[in-house]
Structure 1
Amino acid sequence: MSETRTDAQQQEEFAKQTSAELQDADIDKDRAILGRDWASREQEYLSTATPEAIRNFAHSYGDDNPLFTDPDYGRGTRWGGQIAPPIMAGILNSPLRGEKPSREERGGSYRGIHAFVSGGTWDWYRPIRPGDTVYSFGGLESVDVKRSEFAGRSVVKVRRQVKMNGNAEVIGVYRTLVIYTERKRARERGKYSGLEAPSYTDEDIAKLEELYAAEQRRGAATRHVEDVAVGEELAPMVKGPLTTTDMIVFHAGGYGFVPYGLRTGRMAHQNRQRIAPFFVKNSYGVPDVAQRVHWDSAWAQAIGNPRAYDYGVLRECWAHHFLTDWAGDDGWVVSQHDEIRKFNYQGDVQYFGGEVTAKHERAGQWFVDVAFRGTNQRGEETIRGTAILALPSREHGPALLPDVPVELQRKAIEMLSTHGELLADTR
């Protein structure tokens, strides 16, 4: 058995295995299926929101809100029981039976191409409750080819997922912005390769601990819309410094990265046979998942980054935590739009802040518009976004949940009806 390879040998091996380039044929396949809705047949790590699953998911991104983590606490709120953080809809999915896309209708494969989440937009219509099994359908909304300063040519895709429960009630709609870049070109550009690694003194860590201790969760103290002023700042929040442990905890809480996923033993072998290009040799010559850019700095450096970095989805969850803490138990996050502006590398801290930008009323329901951002210890904005929150009013009463668009609700009923018919045919 050979010795462990040097860094130079590892870099050379990485270069050989990551020379894939964007193919026009993949882009054409994507454009051919724009606007089509397909039943999601993927089995996520979690499909049903049990009380423990809800708790563990909230804990996976650092949220200790008892509304999400304590079933007894929820009974004393407007919800009458435990609910999930609305953004949990993004990690839940049970296979939905429906029309299968043909090989030509599956879109581009983009084998060997690096993909990362660059942002997303959520609209939420109702809470997820313990016992809810979540299904989804959707497809591609847009495909654009751009030139990237970081990686040359890139493909920008918006994927739309409609999430519903077992009663065909629409929970929310998630639009994800994903960028595909050529790893070789990203490595050659090396824009961030010289970024200095952070180093913290005991005094620095003590200051961070003070910030964590001072964080304010609104909770049961109702935030009425009459008490909110345009220009008001939201209570700050800190996340980090980012560690490999953060990535492990996020996966343990339910983030499955399906359809690629994380597997071990015989199941890892089966995954390697199924999607061999997704596996790239590590420093020991062992094929390992390409997504280890999120915990393996050597591999992250091979594609042009200085260190391992977080998931865009994790930062979206952090932003959601920031919003739900401010809204309190009686509020509802109607929508969240976010843009991932820069990488969040291991060792980086994220400071979240924001302000109220507007208040508006529609049919007796009051909404508050918020702008938020996350900034690292270098003063760089790494995420920015906007949100609309429904808050209770002393004059008009509780915050109401938004209405689901009629055509969207009809589509959900059709999709779940087809699922039931196909399921009955197998009995």
Structure 2
Amino acid sequence: MGVPIQPARMREPFSGNDIRRWAQAMHYPNRLHYDSDYAAGSRFGGLLAPQSFCVAMDDAHGTGPSCVGLIPNSHLIFGGDEWWFYGQKVFPGDMLHNHRVALDYAVKETKFAGPTCFQRGDNYYYNQDGDLIAKQRSTAIRYNPDAAREMGSMGPSEDPEWSDEQIVDLENKKYDWIKMLHDLGHGKRWWDDINVGDVLPTRIIGPHSIASFTTEWRSYLFTLWCGVKRRTDLDMEALGFTDEMAGKEQDPVLELDNPEQTDGAYIGPSRGHLFPRWARHVGMPRAYGYGASMGAWILDYFSGWAGEWGEIVHSNCSYRAPSLAGDISIMDATVTEKSINEEGQHLVHVDFKMVNQDGVVSATAKAEICLPKK
């Protein structure tokens, strides 16, 4: 604990299409992040990345420093992310690196898999000028998949079915949130106009599918062949991952010889997300989404509401259950407090919850969002 691991480093600067790919994969239709003409009329004068984007450059979704040490016969899922943002934005042409330090761990008894290790690690994202953009404190949940299968707590293995009428209704509800983005446009959401008890507009994503999970996966730079500078200290077997899931994901030597053997979409611990057989192998009932993507949905929900003149200052998210194929994710939040911090920022405090169509809670969060003052 407290020892840095190898930093995550990019090969080439971000392009506008890297940002567009991320916004599309995260289902975030904020025109600041994909429409150059619209972005040119913003306060920034051009395309910029969402606040959720830093994690796209990392070779482990930000969970690298929260997965160190040998735990035999184990698998890993994301448990949560806490973010601090420092006002620096990410633009096309930027180069990021991530300084990563293991923080702490605790073993707890869970209904999901019995004895479970909760590990935390810190990520410090810097740009090419050395400016600190964000700090991410990631939580990894490391568990015995045999125990998870035996306890059978993850639900049915078949995707829920949605009628054509239900899909149309969902699309209309999803557009209500998109229209909120359009209505605010380049305008300001004033701190003065917000009251305790106000409810943020509902955001819906889904139904999730193997296709949508794959789209999300491919928006992370490390999922591309030679997309990032690979770590040389990453050894899935040394971490204790089960034999069938250890693989050679992200192996820098094998990538140059037979890159398909290093692609986490097909081989290694990440394939449980996209293949129901391997999802069940690690204790999940069917294909399931990425914790890092879930975290991005939450950050985008906050920042989309804040608008281009606002920003997230701090967010603390806990992931309670995976987003499974066939499910939808419904996001809501309520204003609980207004304050002014020591830096003079005018903050709105919100409580957040994300549930599926059956009301099962998949994530909760608390955040402080800075808004402009009249």
Instruction: Find the aligned partners of 2:108 and 2:299 in 1 and give their Cα distance.
Output: 29
Instruction: Find the aligned partners of 2:337 and 2:206 in 1 and give their Cα distance.
Output: 30
TM-score under structure 1 normalisation?
0.73
Q: Give the superposition deviation at 1:146.
A: 1.6
Q: Note the 1:48-59 alignment, pairs <5 A.
A: 48-59=13-24
Instruction: Find the aligned partners of 1:292 and 1:39 in 2 and give their Cα distance.
Output: 24
Q: Give the superposition deviation at 1:236.
A: 0.9
Partner of 1:36: 3
Q: Which amino acid aligns with 2:117?
A: V
1:221 aligned to which of 181, 187, 211: 187
Partner of 2:258: 266
Q: Give the superposition deviation at 1:129.
A: 1.5
Unaligned runs of 5+ in 2: 60-66, 224-229, 235-248
Unaligned runs of 5+ in 1: 1-33, 95-105, 273-277, 280-286, 395-427
Partner of 1:252: 218
Number of aligned residues: 335
Q: Which amino acid aligns with 1:117?
A: F
RMSD of equivalent CA atoms:
2.5
Q: Give the superposition deviation at 1:197.
A: 3.9
Q: Note the 1:4-403 alignment, pairs <5 A.
A: 34-40=1-7, 42-43=8-9, 48-93=13-58, 107-110=68-71, 112-125=73-86, 126-194=88-156, 197-215=159-177, 216-217=180-181, 218-254=184-220, 256=222, 260-261=249-250, 266-269=258-261, 271=262, 288-362=267-341, 363-394=343-374
Instruction: Find the aligned partners of 2:40 and 2:156 in 1 and give their Cα distance.
Output: 52
Contact kept in structure 2, 1:47 and 1:93, CA below 8 Å: no
Question: Secondary structure of 1:323's partner?
Answer: helix
Residues 1:83 and 1:234: Cα distance change in structure 2 (over 3 Å): same
Contact kept in structure 1, 2:21 and 2:219, CA below 8 Å: yes
Contact kept in structure 1, 2:9 and 2:96, CA below 8 Å: no
1:376-403, CA deviations, whole angstroms, 9 ceiling, x for partnerless residues? 1111111110111111111xxxxxxxxx
Q: Note the 1:405-424 alignment, pairs <5 A.
A: none
Runs (4 or more) in structure 1 with deviation over 6 Å come to: 262-265
Please say which of residues 359-368 and 112-121 is displaced more in the overlay.
359-368
Percent of residue pairs identical? 25
Instruction: Find the aligned partners of 2:42 and 2:56 in 1 and give their Cα distance.
Output: 25
Please say which of residues 191-200 and 243-252 is displaced more in the overlay.
191-200
Contact kept in structure 1, 2:213 and 2:288, CA below 8 Å: no
Instruction: Find the aligned partners of 1:119 and 1:264 in 2 and give their Cα distance.
Output: 33
Instruction: Find the aligned partners of 1:37 and 1:261 in 2 and give their Cα distance.
Output: 19
Q: Give the superposition deviation at 1:367.
A: 0.8
Instruction: Find the aligned partners of 1:342 and 1:389 in 2 and give their Cα distance.
Output: 25
Instruction: Find the aligned partners of 2:219 and 2:94 in 1 and give their Cα distance.
Output: 17
1:69-89, CA deviations, whole angstroms, 9 ceiling, x for partnerless residues? 133333322223222111211
Larger Rg: 1
Residues 1:391 and 1:246: Cα distance change in structure 2 (over 3 Å): same
Instruction: Find the aligned partners of 1:359 and 1:55 in 2 and give their Cα distance.
Output: 33
Question: Secondary structure of 1:256's partner?
Answer: helix
Q: Give the superposition deviation at 1:48.
A: 2.5
Question: Secondary structure of 1:288's partner?
Answer: coil
Q: Give the superposition deviation at 1:301.
A: 1.9
Residues 1:47 and 1:189: Cα distance change in structure 2 (over 3 Å): farther
TM-score under structure 2 normalisation?
0.83
Q: Give the superposition deviation at 1:324.
A: 1.6
